[in-house]
Amino acid sequence: MSLKSVKKSYKAYEEFLENKVQELGLKKEVFRAKKGDLLIWHANILHGGEPHLDKSRTRKSLVYHYFDENSVCYHEVTQRPALFEL
- With a threshold of 0.75, does the pTM exceed it? no
- Domain range for 67: 1-86
pLDDT digits (tens, 9 = 90+) for 49-60: 888 888 898 877
Number of domains in the chain: 1
pLDDT digits (tens, 9 = 90+) for 21-72: 999 999 988 888 888 888 888 877 888 888 888 889 887 788 777 777 777 7
Phi-psi region of 30 (alpha: psi -120 to 50; beta: other; left: phi over 0): beta
